[in-house]
Structure 1
Amino acid sequence: MMDNRISGKDILEDDIIQQLRRICRISGVRVLIDTANVRDSFYRASVDFVLKICERVTHQSPFVEIDGEDARQFIARLADNIGLENTRAARMVSAAVAARTRSCFLQAWVGYSAPVLIS
């Protein structure tokens, strides 16, 4: 990340999330985020990041890896790394999946129900 910053490149949220998880995985440390609101926001962004990666996968395998970890393990262990309770993390993941599913259904419905103009 420092190399990118020094060379004038933006640091992407993907880099922050992956590198934080990698550091925690390798060193076994936990991160203390002072306020619950900041911690929750960070985790929501992480869940969104994982869902985007899962959507991009073109093969039919149910296993998606992020930095060598199964996506489900990645997001579960990240919650532990930042001190987020399992039940709270599970609620956030469920809410994000539900919101994304609703969005996909609405987009499909709009595409299906759009009027067809015949000229």
Structure 2
Amino acid sequence: MRLLPHLTKLTAPARRHHHITDNGPGPNATGHICPRVHLALYDGTERDYLLDGPSTCPCPRDPHARYEPRVHLAYLLAQQGHDAHWLARFADLPLPAAERITEAAASATRG
């Protein structure tokens, strides 16, 4: 999927600050907290996944969150109004994960 890195660069904001969907540890030395969500994908292990692309984070190698292009894509599409069932099919994600991503996108647009 060569489109995702290009799509990330086109759609990602230049800089992100504290975000209400963040469930991770406190801010790093720069005071930045990358938005993330706790999900279990197909392997069944729950992990923190970044919602934005790693290029928007000043500390992209954060050991507490992983970058999964399908999670990022689903988050962007959820912010545009797509529902969890559609996202699960389109991004090949488990429905509970797509529902959590949709909730995170909804709270991000309210905040």
TM over 0.5: no
Bigger relative contact order, structure 1 or 2 (CA pairs below 8 A, ≥6 apart): 1
The structure that has the greater radius of gyration is: 1
Range into which the TM-score falls when normalised by the shorter chain? 0.3 to 0.5
Normalising by structure 1, report the TM-score: 0.33
Higher strand share: 2
Normalising by structure 2, report the TM-score: 0.35
